[in-house]
Amino acid sequence: MVWGSTGDGRSGWQLSGGIFGGDAHHLFDKMSSQLGGDSGAVLRVTVSHTLYPVTSEVLHQVYDAYEAVEVQVLATSAWHVEALVSFKSGHDVERARSATHGRNIYNGCCQLDIQYTQSLL
């Protein structure tokens, strides 16, 4: 990639060559579209009152119906589990949160508290 003056009277630089081309501000738009546009489709899941073990496999069983891509358990203790669940799209995040927030995985325990979060990418 080569940086050069745009030459059209603007005080800026243009990215020439490479896969993006065009002005630098377009670089981020194109990167976002190449990543699928919804690379921030992530929920932070906190499971409280864990009377039964809650593993990444259990959370996959809960969220696979909503097109979960990845489940990453961040922390576990005797009373709660925290995890990040990634989805294919923002629409899938909305469906998953509205269907599971405040619900229990098992009868009377393992309550789900779902918060929106940004992807670490």
Does pTM surpass 0.85?
A: no
Q: What was the pLDDT predicted at 40?
A: 59
* In this structure, CATH architecture of domain 42-117: 2-Layer Sandwich (3.30)
Q: Which residue has the tokens 């630098």?
A: 24
Does the pLDDT value for residue 95 go beyond 70?
A: yes
The region of weakest confidence among 21-30, 56-65, 107-116 is: 21-30
Q: Which residues contact 89 (CB under 8 A, 6 or more apart)?
A: 36, 38, 41, 67
Q: Please, which residues bridge with residue 68 across strands?
A: 87
Q: CATH 3.30.70.330 occupies which residues in the chain?
A: 42-117
Higher pLDDT, 29 or 71: 71
For the stretch 5-18, pLDDT in tens is: 444 444 443 444 44
The answer to whether 81 and 50 are in contact (CB under 8 A) is: yes
